[in-house]
Amino acid sequence: MSTPISSDRKKKHHLFGLNFKEHVRAFINSHHLINPNKTMVISVSGGVDSLALVDVISSLGVHFELLHFNHGTRPEENLLEEKNIRDLAHELGVKVNVFHFDISLEEKNFEKKARELRKNIYNQFIKNDYWVYTAHHIDDSFEWSLMQSFKQSGMSNLGVPVFNNGLVRPFMCVSKKQILRYARARQLHWTEDPSNLNEKFERNFMRIHLTAKILKRYPSTLAHYVSRNNQLALIQNIHRLNSESKSVVTQEISGGYLMVADDFKHHKNEIKELIYKLSNVDRGEINNELDKLIKAQTEIKNNPASFPFKGPMNFSGGVQLYLIKDHLFITNKKQAEFYQVLDFKLCSHLQSLTQIPERALILAFPKLLISFGKKLSKSSKYSHPLLPVTCEWLRNRGISYVFTPLMSIKDRQMLAKNAVILDSSVMGL
C-alpha cells in the first residue's frame, strides 16, 4: 500500500513544476528558440525527456507537431510506444509524423546508423520550413563532451549546441534530475527503453561507469560545465545570443504576436511582416505609422517619468499595436475579443479564490504580476487597455500589481521563486 502524499509535498511538487516550466520558457525566449515563420515539430520517443518537453511546449500556446521513430528493434514494445505517441497526439489535437526503420540492436555501429537515419528525416523537415525540437539536456551535453575529450585533442568541444541549423534543444537549461522531478510532479507516464542499460553502447557505458559516479562525487559538476562552456562560447563569438538579432518574437495564445526589442527601429521589416499577417486587407504603406511607434518607444526610454504605455495604435486592416517599454504586442480586433473575455474571467477568478496565493502571474500579454501580500517595489497604478476591469478591481482594493516589462530587478528575482502562474487554461480559455 503506497503512502499518501502530504498536502505540503503536493504543493512543493506543484511549485517546482511551475518554476521548471517558467525557467524553460524564459530560456526559449532569451535564446530565440521559437520562430513564428517555422513550424515546430517535436521528436518524441516515449521516454521521460521527450514527453516532458512535449508537456512544456504544449503549455506555451504555440502550434506544433510530433515526430516519432519506430526503430523496429523491439517489435512489440516499439508498436506499444508508437500507439502511446499516437494517443498523445490525439489527446493534444496535433499532427503526428511516424517513420519506421528496420535495424537490429546487434548490428555493428547501431548507434551511428540510427542517428544518421534520424538526421536524414530531421533534414527533410528543416528543408520544408520546420524547426525540429529534441529533448537533449545538460547531462547529454556533458557526456558527449566527455566522450570527445577521450577521442580528440581539439579546443572546439563545447558540447551539444542549443541551436544548430534548425535543430533546437530547449532543455539545454535543465538537468536529467530536474526533468525527472518535473515529470513526477506532472504525473507523466513514460516508458524505459531496456537497451539504455546495454553497456555495449558507448553512451550507456559512459553514463553507468563514469558520469553517474562523477556527478555523485562532485554535485556541482554540471553547473561548472555550463558556466565554463557559456564563457568559452561567448569568447569565441559562437554563443546563440551573439549571433541572433536582439529581438524575440512569440505568438501568444490569443493569436497575437509579442515582440521584445531594445530598439524597434532596427526591426521595422519584422514588425511590418507581423502586421501584414494579421491584417484583413492587402499590404499597404505603413512607414509613417511605424515611425510614430518608434518615436513613442524613444520617448518612453528617454523619459522614465513619461506614461509607459501606448495603444491601441490603429493600423489598416483592423490591426492594433500596444507598447509597454520594450514590449510590442500586435493583434487585431477579432483577437482582441480574447482579452475582453480574459479580463472578465481573470477578475472573476481572483474574486472567487478562497486561498489567495501570495503572488500570481498571468502569462498572456500584458503579463500582469499581482501581489496579495507584500507590496511590489514598483507597484503600478496604471490600467492597461487590455485588462481594464481587472486593473480597476485591484486598484480599488489596494492590491499591488505591476506589468512585468516595468518590474524592478528585486521583483524579478522574487517572481522567479514565488509566483503562482495563472495561465489562460486556469480560466477555461
221 and 366: one domain?
Answer: no
Cell numbers 542517428: residue: 115
Q: Is residue 54, in this structure, part of any structural domain at all?
A: yes
Residue bearing the bigger pLDDT, 411 or 383: 383
User: Domain for residue 118, yes or no?
Assistant: yes
Q: From 332, 366, 401, give the residue that closes a domain.
A: 332
pLDDT tens per residue, range 129-140: 999 999 999 988
**Binding-site residue ranges for ATP:** 45-50
Nearest-angstrom CA–CA distance, 263 and 181: 39
Judge whether 269 lies within some domain: yes
What integer is the mean pLDDT of 244-271?
79
**Would you say residue 66 lies in a domain?**
yes
Q: Is residue 1 part of a domain?
A: no
On the question of pLDDT at 113 being above 50, the answer is yes
- The pLDDT value given to residue 421: 72
C-alpha cell at 172: 539545454
pLDDT digits (tens, 9 = 90+) for 191-228: 887 666 666 677 778 887 788 888 888 888 888 787 77
Domain boundary among 314, 332, 350: 332
Whether 256 and 402 map to the same domain: the answer is no
Let me know if residue 217 belongs to a domain.
Answer: yes
- One domain for residues 210 and 87: yes
How high is the mean pLDDT of the chain? 83
DSSP annotation of 265 reads: G
Q: What angle do CA 165, 169, 172 make, to 5 degrees?
A: 130
The answer to the question of residue 2 being in a domain is no
pLDDT band at 45 (very low <50, low <70, confident <90, very high): very high
Residue 156 above 70 pLDDT?
A: no
pLDDT surpassing 80 at residue 61: yes
Lowest mean pLDDT among 87-91, 100-104, 178-182: 100-104
Banded model confidence at residue 82, pLDDT cuts 50, 70, 90: very high
pLDDT at res. 69? 94
Could you list the residues known to form a binding site, using ranges.
45-50
Q: Can you give the residue range of the structural domain that contains 373?
A: 336-427
Give kind and range of the element (H or E) at residue 69. strand 64-70
How far is Cα 300 from Cα 27, in angstroms, rounded to an integer? 27
Q: Residue 109 pLDDT more than 90?
A: no
Q: What is the CA radius of gyration of the chain?
A: 24
Task: Tell me, yes or no, whether 221 and 274 share the same domain.
Answer: no
Banded model confidence at residue 1, pLDDT cuts 50, 70, 90: very low
Number of other residues whose CB lies within 10 A of the CB of residue 134: 22
According to DSSP, the β-strands at 327-332 and 163-164 are unpaired
* Dist. CA 373–CA 396, nearest whole Å: 16
Q: Of the given ranges (22-36, 236-250, 374-388, 398-412), which has the lowest mean pLDDT?
A: 236-250
- pLDDT, residue 233, reads 66
Instruction: Tell me whether residue 401 is in a domain.
Output: yes
Residues 238 and 314 placed together within one structural domain of the fold: no
Residues 163, 284, single domain; the answer is no
* Three-state DSSP state, 83: helix
Highest mean pLDDT among 162-166, 284-288, 425-429: 162-166
* Residue 283 pLDDT > 70: no
Residues 206 and 105 in one domain: yes
From residue 362, give the alpha-carbon distance in Å to each of 315, 348, 369.
27, 14, 7
pLDDT one-digit tens code per residue, 365-409:
888 888 887 788 777 778 888 899 999 999 888 888 888 888 777
Whether residue 302 is predicted with pLDDT greater than 60 in this model: the reply is yes
Proportion of the chain above pLDDT 90, given as a percent: 27
Answer yes or no: do 328 and 343 share one domain: no
61: CATH: 3.40.50.620
Q: Kindly state whether residues 106 and 198 are assigned to the same domain.
A: yes
Residues 276 and 354 in one domain: no
Which residues lie closer than 8 Å to 368 by C-beta, 6 or more apart? 361, 362, 384, 387, 390, 391, 401, 402, 403, 404
Q: Which of these three, 332, 352, 376, is where a domain ends?
A: 332
Angstrom distance (rounded) from CA 179 to CA 181:
5
Looking at residue 397, what is its pLDDT? 87
β-pair type (359-361, 368-371):
antiparallel
d(CA 322, CA 258): 9
* Position 298, amino acid: T
% of the chain residues with pLDDT over 70: 87
Beta-carbon count within 10 A of 311 CB: 19
Residues 70 and 188 in one domain: yes
Query: Per-residue pLDDT for 319 more than 50?
Result: yes
Task: Say what the pLDDT of residue 52 is.
Answer: 96
Convert the pLDDT of each residue in 157-189 to its tens digit: 677 888 888 999 999 999 999 999 999 999 999
Q: Give the number of domains in the chain.
A: 3
| pLDDT of 424 | 66
Residues 228 and 365 in one domain: no
- What is the rounded CA–CA span in Å between residue 185 and residue 120? 35
